[in-house]
Chains A and B, each alone.
Chain A
Amino acid sequence: MTHAASMNEVPSGPELPGNPGTYADPESSGEPGRQRILARETTSSRAGAAVVAAILVIAVCGYALLETAVRAVGQPPWLIDPQTAADQVTALPAGVPPVLLGTVGAILLAAGVGFVLAAILPGRRARHILADPRAAVVVDDEVIASALARRARLAANVTQEQVMVVVSRREVQVNVRPTSGVPLSTGDLQAAVEAELRDMAPEPMPAVRVNMASSGVIGA
């Protein structure tokens, strides 16, 4: 079973919360916007990239504006005269060492790819949706992991240091180091975590995998 996908997971379209039958039909509770709120809150808004892009464009256009306005009014240029700039650009790669040109180009290329990816990829946040008749509820994965870790700890009768839970979109990994001399049943632990997960009913429901460490902790 593959581990949770990385940033390059191919998106399968805007993934909206699944079957509306999972929780009370939002239409009947008078909230037609519920699906949209949930879709919004589980993906990144790309506000950060937007701010960076906007500022860069403003800076470039601002400078071009300065030079153009200066030229239009007939005054001498500030840094580079637009005419001279155009001459130099059309003469490329003549006046510039190729290594510099290539490096700048590569940087721009990489940045461009980064922005395009930011635009296309869904940017899912580490969150799950919970069913609720009245409100749109979204839970951070860390909170889910914390609750499951507690349940696992109690079920296995070990300390906090012996349990580590990793929650990703479709999988919950429970890593346990048993106490030396006190064997644990993987099956029981798995059943306990799955039961808690069923009560929680997160969406999408992750599968549980229990990893029992081969070495135990002495005298816990």
Chain B
Amino acid sequence: MNGTPRVLNRILIGIFGLLLLAVGLLLVLLAAVPAVAAWWQGWSSEAWDRVRTGSESTRIPGQSESWLWIVMVLLLIAVIVAMVAWLAQQGKGRSNILVAEDDAGEVPGYVRIGGGVAEQALRAALAGRPDLAGATVATYDFRGRPGLRIRVQPRQGVAPHLLAAEVSALVEALDAVIGRRTPVFIHIGSGARSRFGRAERVR
């Protein structure tokens, strides 16, 4: 659970895929079909000539090159920056504040409750359990609001619905202790192995 931009990912990946597909298709056709080769040679050299005359007419006074190259450089930089920003969005989303309230009560000043409170409380409550092989708690940001992500790894054979009910009860206890209900996401998992394969086999 994090801030990875899923829709954007799919859109950009799709565009990238289409570009690769188009270029690949073109190369295959050029290699295989002479008619395509002839068409390509004609069309592309015409297009390139037009670009060149365009660049002739846009020379920077006093320089030997046209400013179109500068535009090209800026464009490339823009694309690279956009790609780096896109990369940085993957896996984002951890946050730290669970509750924030300004000027409550008689005295001015904010009250902020950090995610660490919930994390420590839940981890401590889950720690001694014999039916768990591990538990992690983290605070994240979901559409501008804080949320808790609880990941538990039950031992072999543990019934997930019973475990879910108990963890859910602990979360309700946490609600009472903190004084606010935060959205909670519980992941009952088996570690990293659940990523691979559609059908899971267990003895």
Contacts and interface: CB of A to CB of B under 8 A. Distances in A.
Interface of A: 4-7, 29-31, 33-34, 36-37, 40-41, 43, 45-47, 49-51, 53-58, 61-62, 64-65, 68-69, 71-72, 74, 86-87, 89-94, 98-99, 101-102, 104-120, 124-127, 130, 132-147, 149-150, 160-161, 163-169, 196, 199-201
B14 A120 contact: yes
Contacts of A36: 143
A43 B18 CA distance: 22
Give the interface centre of B25, B26, B165, B201 by most chain A CB atoms within 10 Å.
Answer: B201
Contacts of A163: 203
Interface string B148-169: 0010001011111100110110
B157 A115 contact: no
Given A45-B9, A142-B193, A146-B202, 18 more contacts: A29-B181, A34-B183, A45-B90, A53-B16, A54-B84, A92-B41, A101-B31, A102-B27, A105-B23, A105-B29, A108-B21, A109-B24, A118-B17, A119-B17, A127-B194, A137-B188, A144-B160, A167-B199
Given A51-B87, A112-B18, A90 B45 contact: yes
Contacts of B13: 46, 49-50, 53, 115-116, 118-119
A136 B203 contact: no
B113 to A, nearest CB: 17
A47 B9 contact: yes
Contacts of A201: 161
A89 B41 CA distance: 9
A72 B65 CA distance: 6
B56 to A, nearest CB: 13
Which 9 pairs, one residue from A and one from B, show the smallest C-beta to C-beta distance? A105-B27, A115-B17, A112-B21, A108-B24, A109-B24, A112-B20, A119-B14, A150-B157, A102-B31
B96 to A, nearest CB: 19
Contacts of A5: 198
B124 interface: no
Interface of B: 1, 4, 6, 9-14, 16-32, 37, 40-41, 44-45, 47-48, 63-65, 69-70, 72-73, 76-77, 79-80, 83-84, 86-87, 90-91, 142-143, 145, 147, 150, 154, 156-161, 164-165, 167-168, 171-172, 181, 183-190, 193-195, 197-203
Given A106-B28, A109-B28, A145 B20 contact: no
Contact of B76 (A50, A61, A74): A61
A143 B154 CA distance: 8
Nearest to B202: A145
B202 to A, nearest CB: 4
Contact of A167 (B29, B87, B200): B200
Given A58-B84, A64-B76, A86 B201 contact: no
A149 B203 contact: yes
Contacts of B167: 135
26 contacts: A30-B181, A33-B142, A47-B4, A69-B73, A71-B69, A92-B41, A93-B30, A98-B32, A105-B29, A109-B25, A112-B17, A112-B21, A115-B14, A115-B17, A118-B10, A126-B194, A127-B194, A134-B172, A135-B171, A137-B185, A137-B186, A142-B194, A144-B200, A164-B202, A165-B203, A168-B198
Contacts of B10: 46, 118-120
A104 B26 CA distance: 11
B73 A125 contact: no
Contacts of B77: 65
B24 A105 contact: yes
Nearest to A63: B76
Give the interface centre of B14, B31, B44, B79 by most chain A CB atoms within 10 Å.
Answer: B31
Contact of A126 (B21, B70, B87, B199): B199
A146 B9 contact: no
Contacts of A102: 27-28, 31-32
